[in-house]
Amino acid sequence: MLFYDEDSKMLFVAMKSESTLMFYEVSEKSPYLSQGPNVYRGAEQQKGMGMVPKRAVNVMSCQIARFLQLTQNSIIPVGYHVQRKSQSEFHSDLFPDTAGSEPALTADQWCQGQNGKVAKVSLDPKGQPKAASQPKSHSKQNGTKSPEIRPPSEGKSPTPVGKSPTPGGKSPIPDSRTVSEESRSSSFSPTPKVLNIVRSSKFRHIQGGTLHRSTHIEKLPKLSVAMPGDSNGFQANRDFVAAALDIAGGQIGIFKLTHTGRQDTDEVLMFQNSANIMDFVFDPFNNHRLVVACDDARIRVWKVPEGGRGGTVKEPEFFLIGHQEKPNLLCFHPQASSLLATAGFDCHLFIWNLEERAISLRMDPLPQPLFAMSWSPDGKLLATIARDHVIRIYDPRNSTSPVNEGVGPEGSRGARIVWLNSTHLAVSGFNKTSSRTISLYVTSDLSRPLSSVSTTISPATLVPHYDPDTCLVFLSGKGDNSIIAYEYVEDKEPYLFDVAPFACGSPHQAGELPAQRPV
């Protein structure tokens, strides 16, 4: 469904059975559709969408557009705002004269060949009779600088004054929030009271983009599509990237980041595991060490030779043997060298010392295999989420059983978990309606999420990557063509604030944020 606002040159796009409303700015120059797509995500599937006439929007709150979203049980107003310091005056640059309600022609006149144009009216409340005064919207005049548009609060339309709304849709000002009496009123008041709260953020205008083609690694061998959903199927560090290849024998290809351009298959370094690959991970303290879990219940530790290129390697440095069934998860300790946590379909959770090539700690058997696990930033705790939808936190050095438990996402398709700091966890998963969710938990109380955000409906689990330096959480799933991001703020609700997404040119198979980022 397409909706175009001629005044602001904005194109809005919605689809039935989804919960999103995208918008673009239309220009007369290539690429014609710019600043997008920016996305508002509601909490429920929409059955229909209607655009309210411009004369009905609230101009005094800098609202440039208003939609009515029809869901299964509700009609939800969705407003788009431009951020302005003052909301006590009419901003003429946002609201040019718009088409009025009086027709220019009769039906007979048009049939007889006459043409006409509807007369425009001012949206300035001062220039209209009191009885005719109505809430209005904002738009951009030709020749003026494009305003920054603030989409509505995500997932919630009505928000009582004094309470924080859910994060906004993807926009140039994702962390700006407006709390308006208008949103909880049954009728559209021409002059609602508006409370603006703008949170300062250095990442407000962050934009994603692909680097120059000279940095791309192209013409890769055919990649494996049989990797388990619990694995990222792709790993990177400062020097190398590793990807599972669709070659018999469980091959993993190692590509050097400095060796860009077309890849000659004969010159690609390959590790032949002689079994199907379940998961693999680089050692964060040794760029030349790759650990691979296979379905023969053995874990192989490989060494990348100097130079990172040259033929097929068939024998690993050594094996880790301890699981009775195939191990499906590997996770290196963030602070201690050669310390590796592994989990498998035998419901065992082990912590290995790679220097001794032996198991150092054994946790109590799990009721079901794990979807994901993650070490805390300080390395003291290990968080897991299993197929029974339970989040468990371990203190491995002091107890073999969990020190805390709580209910995670309800959906059974999969889940991922990542620490944001020593007290907060982000968990991606699915809800009952199969929508993908990102939930924030505080480790002291796992009974319910502190905050939760619903995104698109897709069978692919969102894989989170957290950058502690910028406090940004990046998420994407296999087959997606975008990377969504949130800024995590520990002391301000709703804690996860939208950051503008990055739209890829085509669907991607995996993504990775290297632990050691190149300078």
Share of residues in the chain with pLDDT > 90 (%):
27
Is the peptide bond between 192 and the residue preceding it cis, with omega within 30 degrees of 0?
Answer: no
Q: What are phi and psi of 445, to 5 degrees?
A: -150, 100
CA distances from 129 to 102, 125, 134 (A): 16, 8, 10
Q: Is the pLDDT of residue 143 over 50?
A: no
For the chain, how many residues are written?
Answer: 519
Which residues is 382 bridged to in the sheet?
375, 394
pLDDT in tens, 361-373: 999 999 999 999 9
Going by DSSP bridges, is the β-strand pair 217-218/261-262 parallel, antiparallel, or unpaired? parallel
Mean pLDDT of the 469-488 span = 83
What's the pLDDT score for residue 202? 65
Q: pLDDT digit string (tens) for 232-250?
A: 888 888 889 899 998 888 8
Alpha-carbon span 17 to 165, nearest angstrom: 24
Averaged over 146-175, what is the pLDDT? 41
Q: What is the DSSP string of 312-324?
A: EE-S-SEEEE--S
- Torsion 360-365-369-374 (CA) sign: negative
Count of Cβ atoms closer than 10 Å to residue 191 Cβ: 14
- In this prediction, residue 149 carries a pLDDT of 53
Q: Return the pLDDT at 153.
A: 45
Output the CA–CA distances (angstroms, integers) from residue 507 to 125, 170, 227, 482, in the order listed. Answer: 47, 19, 17, 8
pLDDT at 145 over 50: no
pLDDT-based confidence at residue 174 (cuts at 50, 70, 90): very low
User: How far is it, in rounded angstroms, from Cα 119 to Cα 102?
Assistant: 7
Q: Is the dihedral of CA 66, 159, 199, 430 positive or negative?
A: negative
Closest by CA to 391, choosing from 350, 421, 419, is 419
Residue matched to tokens 């003291």: 380
Please report where in the chains the tokens 């994901």 appear, as a residue.
Answer: 372
| Exposure b/e, 435-472, CB count within 10 A at least 16 = b | bbbbbbbbbeebeebbbbbbbbbbebbbbbbbeeeebb
Flag whether pLDDT at 255 surpasses 50: yes
Block residue for tokens 């694995």: 231
pLDDT at 131: 43
Residue 80: the pLDDT is 77
If you average pLDDT over every residue of the chain, what do you get?
A: 78
pLDDT of residue 81 exceeding 60: yes
Nearest alpha-carbon partner for 399 in 441, 426, 364, 351: 364
- Amino acid identity at 38: N
pLDDT band at 152 (very low <50, low <70, confident <90, very high): low
Most confident of 37-51, 60-74, 212-226: 212-226
Strand stretches in 269-314, DSSP E: 269-272, 277-283, 286-294, 298-303, 312-313
- Cβ atoms within 10 Å, residue 263: 17
pLDDT in tens, 268-302: 899 999 899 999 999 999 999 999 999 999 999 99
Mean pLDDT of 370-388: 93
Predicted TM-score of the model (pTM): 0.62
pLDDT class of 108 with cuts at 50, 70, 90: confident
- Quote the CA–CA distance of 400 and 394 in Å, as a whole number: 7
Amino acid in the structure at residue 40 = Y
User: 133 pLDDT band (50/70/90 cuts)?
Assistant: very low
Question: Which residues, in sequence order, are bridge partners of residue 120?
Answer: 99
Q: What is the DSSP string of 323-371?
A: -SS-EEEEEE-SSSTTEEEEEETTS-EEEEETTTTEEEEEPPPPSS-EE
Residue 493 has what pLDDT? 79
Q: pLDDT band at residue 394, thresholds of 50, 70 and 90?
A: very high
Give the span between the Cα atoms of 452 and 108, in whole angstroms: 56
Mean predicted confidence (pLDDT) in 22-45: 73
- Average pLDDT of the segment spanning 45-51: 81
What's the pLDDT at 410?
A: 78
Please say if the pLDDT value at position 18 is more than 50.
yes
What would the two tokens of residue 296 be? 């023969």
Beta strands 251-256 and 269-272, pairing class:
antiparallel
pLDDT at position 511 is 59
Give the phi and the psi of residue 276 in degrees, each rounded to 5: -70, 140
Phi, psi of 325 (to 5 degrees): -125, 175
- What pLDDT is recorded for position 204? 60
pLDDT bracket for residue 318 (50, 70, 90): very high
pLDDT at 395 over 80: yes
Q: What is the dihedral of CA 278, 284, 285, 291, to 10 degrees?
A: 10
What distance, in Å, lies between the first and last C-alpha atoms of the chain?
44
- Strands 312-313, 269-272: pairing kind: parallel
pLDDT at residue 334, as a whole number: 92
pLDDT at 176 over 70: no
CA separation, residue 456 to residues 9, 245, 372, 482 (Å):
26, 29, 21, 11
> How far is the C-alpha of 98 from the C-alpha of 7, rounded, in Å?
7
Nearest residue to 134 (alpha-carbon basis) of 75, 50, 78, 52 = 52
Spacing of C-alpha 445 from chain mean position: 24
The mean pLDDT of 149-178, rounded to a whole number, is: 40
Question: CA-to-CA distance for 94 and 85, rounded, in angstroms?
Answer: 14
- % of the chain surpassing 70 pLDDT: 78
Question: Average pLDDT, stretch 324-331?
Answer: 94
Q: How confident is the model at residue 142 (pLDDT cuts 50, 70, 90)?
A: very low
pLDDT above 70 (res 185): no
How far is 224 from 247, CA to CA, in rounded Å? Answer: 8
Q: What is residue 153's DSSP assignment?
A: B
Q: What is the dihedral of CA 291, 293, 299, 301, to 10 degrees?
A: -20
Q: Are 402 and 392 in contact (CB under 8 A)?
A: yes
pLDDT of residue 362: 95
pLDDT of residue 361: 94
